[in-house]
Chains A and B, each alone.
Chain A
């Protein structure tokens, strides 16, 4: 690799994540109110799912409405394993494994479908899984499941687990984004056939990135289950959960690591604050936000920020939207058969 000239911007880009992580790790020492701790915890859990989804939906361009399946399976696996006397941290691995297996079971048939058809199939999967989980005996059915853990409730333990989890998720995401695998995924998003022509196996690549995203989401579900101590299918397997997981990266800026993080943080904070005040309006707001983002600013909040910055630094001409391939691909003029 050629030696890169490190501009101040570039250094900030590298240093910022570590700085944020350090602050988050030492924040409890400075004293946090229980409310703020809870807010940060929930935000970290959501952000993890957002970063996971973004690998599949943003980087690879396969929009899935089915991530509640992995979230719910992770939650239930953790709950059941902890009930059987396993260490919670070991249970998270179980959650990741179960979510990965589920992702293969879903992906093997579903990835034969492209784009919107895949998205539609995942809607069917979420609904079917929730119905099944509502009726299973082992999970207590629709009446829910109580997660048992010995000892007092330690919010700090949960907090650190969630922070380390989200840091790990971001790291995984960052590595994938900058790897050859990530390049292959990006090629698949732009044109699957062309990617296959240059030696990428779209089917396998999609399966693997789906599995990784599922594992991250499953762990997030597990961490949430241990914290919440009570889960039921109408919550963790809800279609709404899928919607949330999808909305975060889209709001933040689909297809970029930072966008997914930004989306998760904004969503977590807004969700925690809004649900209490306007219990009925928040999905309406998200719907409207989704419409506005798709019609006006397809790159989400991050795109908006970038646009503001670009206005100041003219020497960096905008190369157009980085996600033109995803959003505006295939106008009649450009795609002559």
Chain B
């Protein structure tokens, strides 16, 4: 393998990492603030993909614009889901099984509504951009992947700005760090939780729309990405956007370079195996890491 090949793979991994980070960040903030393992994230990703697909089919709208439109639409959707289901869950500072199973049930509902509406055929969005590449000498980059990468990174930057510089971002961080202390100093935890859920859902829809440009999809689309999101979150620590970015990069590198070693049939197993290995290497997993972090604060 030549140096150019390695470079090409590295670039591919890097571009992949961008969309992976955008895909998992919604789950990260919802977990951080509400301690809910949002399995319905997979359903939101799927809906985001079909959202872009429908806009593309009906109004011939560019999927990038579809992805941007997905943000407000899914924000509202997330608020609705929170109002209808999530707010009834018992408040907790550790993830409860009730929340896990509730979101799992909601995922089942979304997925099967998807099957009812769109059937089980695979769809894909094909634009002139899909096959075009930019070449620098021997290095070639898929235009589409570059665009998706840029969109993902911009969205992450915006989120980081919200996180760092707005009152809402500060209250989110406060709730992530210590829910009791946050409430004592006057953070409205209900309101913040509501908005966080909306924001997380918005990002899931956005990422789903971006993913729809790169992959074909069916109503079961979100499942493999859900597991990847878990790997990323576990790798990166649960509560920060930077962590999600780092985790995404690691996973993208492993997936990209494993093509050289692992037979194609086993390729889908890599992220799942990695999830398990990560949990093994960090014996106490995410929780242990978090505890360690909090003990020294």
Interface size of A by CB at 8 A reads 48
Q: Could you say which of A125, A135, A280, A329 contacts B96, with CB atoms under 8 Å apart?
A: A329
Closest to A110 in B: B279
Interface size on B, residues (CB 8 A): 52
| Contact among A112, A284, A328 with B283 in the assembled complex (CB-CB below 8 Å) | A112
| B275 and A295 contacting across the interface, CB-CB below 8 Å | no
Q: Could you tell me which residues of chain A, from 278 to 321, have a CB within 8 Å of some CB in chain B? A: 280-281, 283-284, 286-291, 294-295, 298
B residues 117-131 near A (Cβ < 8 Å) are: none
User: A280–B117 Cα gap in the complex (Å)?
Assistant: 11
A194 to chain B, nearest CB (A): 14
A290, B108: Cβ atoms closer than 8 Å: yes
Let me know if B279 and A290 touch, CB within 8 A. no
- Indicate if the CB atoms of B275 and A124 lie closer than 8 Å: yes
Q: Is the C-beta of A138 less than 8 angstroms from some C-beta in chain B? A: no
| B162 interface hit (Cβ, 8 Å) | no
Residues A127 and B279 in contact, CB atoms below 8 Å apart: no
A290 touching B104 by the CB < 8 A rule? yes
- The distance from the CB of B180 to the nearest CB of chain A, in whole angstroms, is 7
Interface contact B280-A109, CB-CB below 8 Å: yes
| B86 shortest CB reach to chain A, Å | 10
- Expressed in whole angstroms, the minimum distance between the Cβ of B19 and any Cβ of chain A is 20
Interface string of A90-126 (1 = CB under 8 A from B): 0000000000000000000110111111011101110
Which B232-252 residues have C-beta < 8 A from chain A?
none
Q: Does A335 contact B (CB under 8 A)?
A: yes
A116-B95, A284-B113 given; A125·B276 CB < 8 A = yes
CB pair A117–B108 under 8 Å, yes or no, is no
Q: CB of B155 within 8 A of chain A?
A: no
User: How many interface contacts (CB-CB < 8 Å) are there between A and B?
Assistant: 154
Name the one of B92, B265, B276 contacting A109, with C-beta atoms under 8 angstroms: B276
Question: Could you tell me if A124 and B230 are in contact, using CB atoms closer than 8 angstroms?
Answer: yes
Partner of B266, one of A109, A110, A131, A291: A131
Docked CA distance A291–B283 (Å): 32
Contact with A along B90-122 (1 / 0, CB 8 A): 111111111111101111110111011000000
Assess whether A329 is in contact with B266, with CB atoms less than 8 Å apart. Answer: no
The answer to whether B96 and A330 have CB atoms under 8 Å apart is yes
Cross-chain contact B88 with A131 (CB below 8 angstroms) = no
**A128 touching B285, Cβ below 8 Å:** no
In the assembled complex, A61 has its CB within 8 A of some CB on chain B: yes
B268 touches which of A121, A127, A286, A295 (Cβ 8 Å): A127
Given contacts A110-B279, A290-B102, contact A284 B269 (CB under 8 A): no
Q: Once the chains bind, are A109 and B112 in contact (CB under 8 Å)?
A: no
Instruction: With both chains docked as a complex, state the minimum distance between the C-beta of A281 and any C-beta of chain B, in angstroms.
Output: 7
Residues A287 and B100 in contact in the complex (CB < 8 Å), given A112-B283, A117-B279, A124-B227: no
- Assuming the contacts A110-B279, A117-B287, A331-B92, asked whether A124 and B112 have C-beta atoms less than 8 A apart, the reply is no
Q: Is the CB of B101 within 8 A of A290?
A: yes
Residues B101 and A117 in contact, CB atoms below 8 Å apart: no
The verdict on A184 contacting chain B, using a C-beta distance below 8 Å, is no
B82 adjacent to chain A (CB < 8 Å): no
Contact A294 B94 (CB under 8 A): no
Closest CB-CB distance, B63 to chain A, in whole Å? 27
Task: Say whether A295 contacts B263, CB under 8 Å.
Answer: no
B21-51 interface bits toward A, Cβ cutoff 8 Å, 1 = contact, 0 = none: 0000000000000000100000000000000
Q: Which residues of A contact B102 (CB under 8 A)?
A: 290-291, 294-295
Residues of B within 8 A of A (CB): 37, 85, 88, 90-102, 104-109, 111-113, 115-116, 179-180, 183, 223-224, 226-227, 230, 263, 265-266, 268-269, 271-273, 275-276, 279-280, 283-287
A residues near B, CB below 8 A? Answer: 61, 63, 109-110, 112-117, 119-121, 123-125, 127-128, 131-132, 134-135, 239, 243, 250, 280-281, 283-284, 286-291, 294-295, 298, 326-332, 335-337
What are 29 pairs between A and B in contact, CB < 8 Å?
A: A109-B279, A113-B285, A115-B95, A115-B96, A116-B97, A117-B95, A123-B227, A124-B230, A124-B271, A124-B276, A127-B227, A127-B272, A128-B269, A128-B273, A131-B266, A131-B269, A135-B265, A280-B115, A281-B112, A284-B113, A287-B107, A288-B109, A294-B98, A326-B97, A327-B98, A328-B96, A328-B98, A330-B90, A330-B93
